Structure 1
Amino acid sequence: MCIVSTCLFSFFFFKWRKLYLRPISAHRMIRLPLACLLLTLAATGYGGGDGCVPRDFGQGSVVCECNSTYCDLPGVIKLPPAGQFWSFTTNKAGKRFEKLLEQVQNATTGAALRLSIDSSQKYQKIKGFGGAMTDAAAMNILSLSPGAQDSLLKQYFSPEGAEYSVVRVPMASCDFSSRLYTYADTPGDFQLLNFSLAPEDLKMKIPLLQRAQAMSPRPLSLLASAWSSPAWLKTNGALIGKGTLKGEAGGKEHETWANYYVRFLDEYKKHNLTFWAVTTGNEPTAGLITNYSFQALGFTAEMQRDWVARDLGPAIARSQHAKINILILDDQRALLPHWAKVVLSDIQASRYIHGIGVHWYWDPAIPAEISLSTTHHLFPGYYLFGTEACAGFSPGHHGVKLGCWDRAERYAHDIIEDLNHYVTGWTDWNLVLDLEGGPNWVKNFVDSPIIVNKTSDVFYKQPTFYILVHFSKFLWAESQRVGVSFNTHSDLESCAFIRLDGSTVLVVLNRSSKDVPFEVWDPSVGYIPAVSPARSVLTLVWVTR
């Protein structure tokens, strides 16, 4: 009776607040029992029955709280009727993927700013978006109750959720593990007779990947990256620090490391998990740094070229995984185009390679036009793909900031910039972290789109989660980037794509503090009136004639 009376009071109080005063703050709203709060939100229009349950942690915007019985979902998006368009808005002020169905106009709206779509200008096609199933992500998901686990996985992989299509999987341990290990830690085991997957794979990552695949409407594209070879194959005899493979390309150490990749793929296939691609190793330049603090294996571009040409490429080509893609670099885009020139100019190495993986951490160091576009034009037969990104890595800004909008904006800016410079997809780092930003054995804590509070059996969806939804839910595989231009200078950032179903998707980022009215001119449909709210991401979807 106490809860019922509290809910009734809350209903009338919220109704009064909505009519006469500003909305009550999110951090006060959450003090009500969650079930009561949901009834109140539904009754008063704060998010509706499927809306976000907001919590304000004082970081500039809100997170959406979820548990085993309730979590807002983006929902299944159907194509709009002819002559109409969908708009989806997420902003700093608290909107989370707000959906509206609006009318296309036959005549100009008179807006000073016009974005024109040119479908005759065709660029790269999309491969996918996603995140990484690290040991830490798996531990955090499994720390929740079964119902909350399903709720969380549904957010990423179901047709009602973000519809992630790519999952990066570390081969053995990385910094986001609770211990250091590989799959072949027996010294001198060049035949890999003692190769075996770890409990982290068998009890955590594999079962979760199987559950994710069961939820997904299409096969997941799994991407494998290794951080370090077994210590006994390395010059420094350790998983961490400065060290490269012993010997030289074509030698027993290099050959064993290539066969290790094949064995990993073999073992996962036994669990009905096949991989779309492997990278030549996570951040190879890290293993060239003295006293590097966590797992790494050093390669120069020349060393990577020779290992692919003489060992990795042939090993995969003669295995049951011959169709798997090989991505080089898997490191900062600032290393381009040099790295690509060294590796892809070699006829023996280049025949085994399909793409180039890039990380985002040094992106401000070199313009995308110089690194990404130049590389694409030099080697148009090899695609560029974003393999890792996260917030909360900068010195003095480590770890989780619940509700931080600035980090969400940086995600959106980087994705749009990458897409406009020939990148074919973007992979976030850890799918899930805890409140500290781990677990991480070396305490290299960062942020994640979903944060687990295991003591309360709840998880929080960060603004970055919704930013990723604005891309991953709409830019399906084979969507093709097309031209979009502005009739005058604008602070807005945008990218446009045409999907195989004939619809057009336009994503617009507004990092300014003002609402920006504009119209979209698409010759095939007409004029689309829109407003880009201050500090927001807006996705528009319409069907071409």
Structure 2
Amino acid sequence: CECNSTYCDSVGSVSLPPLGQYSSYLSSMAGSRLKGAQAQVQVKSTGAGIGYSVVRVPMASCDFSTRLYTYDDTPGDYNLDNFTLAPEDINMKIPLLQRAQALSPRPLSLLASAWSAPAWMKTNGALVGKGSLKGQPGGKEYKTWAQYYIRFLEEYAKYNLTFWALTTGNEPSAGRMTNYSFQALGFTPEEQRDWVALDLGPALHASSHPHTHILILDDNRLLLPHWAKVVLNDVHAGRYIHGVAVHWYMDFLVPAEISLGVTHHLYPEYYLFGTEACSGWNPLDRGVKLGSWDRAEQYAHDIIVDLNHYVVGWTDWNLALDQTGGPNWVKNFVDSPVIVDAQRDVFYKQPSFYSMAHFSKFLWEGSQRVGVSASQKTDLEYSAFIRPDGSVVLIILNRSSSEVQFEVWDPAVGYIPSTAPAHSLLTLAWNTH
């Protein structure tokens, strides 16, 4: 869908039909985009804004910045006397977040992630490449890095922006890789455990933001359950932690039941949260692909697998990118659900935009996943939820090349006959009272 400053297609606000009827919304490779329909639930069997609620905010620069920077580049400033937000924060991030919050009918949950500490705190003396904090947890660098987080929260609070959560740092495993070309800060799980226990946890607890959640890992799920065992088995670290953040890269290397399922069953009191995903990162399938339905299916498949394995949220990497998949200072060009052509003053909503909408628009915060069983083997992938308003939402992905006819039986209302076209994503919604 091509949009500009005066036109963009939108499904508008969604209101569910009365008891006895259901709504369906279909997107497909054949061209449907959240195509709405309404029908009657059967008594007998017959045989755009799109509701985003979480925004991930980089603390200082990341690879999708146009330059490298931190909030305190003064060597030896352990008291952070020279800590100051960057022009990017003041002129871009903060106004955009304020505008987004004003447009959203519900409060936005802001999530902060840092890519690197200032170079003078690090063993390699640089923002990029293999390097970690100098010294040991409990030492001055680790304590200053914890206070850096607190200062960030305090500065944003001055603009009436408060954070639901922060992570212990983006992809800590990357900072332990030789010749790594992006910003990174290496942590072993043991170092992360001790930093939270000795420095970050106490600092946050004593700050004016004690209710901000701490999410550990913020890295690929193949590191689970080992990483969680190291950190969460420690009572001193565990008492400060609320959840485990995961990225989707390399998901194919480890089954979700092993990484996510085992972690949940070992530590059910800590939630799992998806904090980064994007298409076009693989060197064999790189960059922007306008109109790619395959990538929309990749998103939907991963979200469904995550939801069915106890993940309670899923965050895309970039809200929008330009036609090259940037800007990105290190030329790490990838794809995004929205692609902007600034010269023509238009933007394109990719199939993956609508793929995310099938979840974000219908699964409200507080929705509870419920079990779904199929009476026979099927190619369909699905996940079902009861929302806080008591309505039911069922999301169905058909990645096969064949249409699949099926019906849903809800004992509270009856039978819902439906069809999932080839290569389609379908959301069904109905009231139960």
TM bucket normalised to smaller? over 0.9
Structure 2: how far apart are the matches of 1:359 and 1:99? 32
Q: Secondary structure at the match of 2:317?
A: strand
Q: CA deviation at 1:345?
A: 0.2
Q: 2:33 aligns with which of 90, 93, 96?
A: 96
Match status 1:501 vs 2:389 = yes
Structure 1: how far apart are the matches of 2:46 and 2:81? 70
Q: Secondary structure at the match of 1:356?
A: strand
Q: CA deviation at 1:396?
A: 2.6
Q: CA deviation at 1:163?
A: 1.1
Larger Rg: 1
Post-superposition Cα deviations, 1:480-500, rounded to whole Å, max 9, x if no partner, equal 000001000000000000001
Higher helix share: 1
The residue aligned with 2:55 is: 167
Structure 2: how far apart are the matches of 1:294 and 1:335? 20
Structure 2: how far apart are the matches of 1:251 and 1:483? 48
Which is bigger in relative contact order (C-alpha 8 A, separation at least 6)? 1
Structure 1: how far apart are the matches of 2:46 and 2:12? 30
Q: 2:340 aligns with which of 448, 452, 468?
A: 452
The residue aligned with 1:79 is: 16
Match status 1:384 vs 2:321 = no
Q: CA deviation at 1:343?
A: 0.1
The residue aligned with 1:66 is: 3
Q: Secondary structure at the match of 1:428?
A: coil
Q: Give the aligned residue type for 1:447.
A: D
Percent identical residues: 71
Q: Give the aligned residue type for 1:324.
A: T
Q: Give the aligned residue type for 1:107.
A: K
Structure 2: how far apart are the matches of 1:109 and 1:444? 51
Structure 1: how far apart are the matches of 2:11 and 2:328? 30
Structure 1: how far apart are the matches of 2:303 and 2:3? 26
Structure 1: how far apart are the matches of 2:291 and 2:106? 31
Structure 2: how far apart are the matches of 1:177 and 1:397? 22
The TM-score with structure 1 as length reference comes to 0.79
The residue aligned with 1:208 is: 96
Which residues of structure 1 form unaligned runs of 5+? 1-63, 111-154, 156-160
Q: 1:536 aligns with which of 416, 421, 424?
A: 424
Once superposed, what is the RMSD of the aligned Cα atoms?
0.5
Q: Give the aligned residue type for 1:493.
A: E
The residue aligned with 1:190 is: 78
The residue aligned with 2:206 is: 318
Structure 1: how far apart are the matches of 2:410 and 2:293? 31
Q: CA deviation at 1:519?
A: 0.2
Trace 1:340-351 onto structure 2 (pairs within 5 A).
Answer: 340-351=228-239
Total equivalences in the alignment: 433
Post-superposition Cα deviations, 1:93-130, rounded to whole Å, max 9, x if no partner, equal 110000000110000011xxxxxxxxxxxxxxxxxxxx
Q: 2:87 aligns with which of 199, 203, 209?
A: 199
The TM-score with structure 2 as length reference comes to 1.00
Q: 2:376 aligns with which of 488, 493, 516?
A: 488
Post-superposition Cα deviations, 1:236-295, rounded to whole Å, max 9, x if no partner, equal 000000000000011000000000000000000000100000000000000000110010
Match status 1:352 vs 2:240 = yes
Structure 2: how far apart are the matches of 1:406 and 1:314? 45
Structure 2: how far apart are the matches of 1:434 and 1:500? 37
Structure 1: how far apart are the matches of 2:41 and 2:427? 15
Trace 1:351-430 onto structure 2 (pairs within 5 A).
Answer: 351-430=239-318
Post-superposition Cα deviations, 1:19-45, rounded to whole Å, max 9, x if no partner, equal xxxxxxxxxxxxxxxxxxxxxxxxxxx
Structure 2: how far apart are the matches of 1:381 and 1:229? 30
Which residues of structure 2 form unaligned runs of 5+? none
The residue aligned with 1:27 is: none
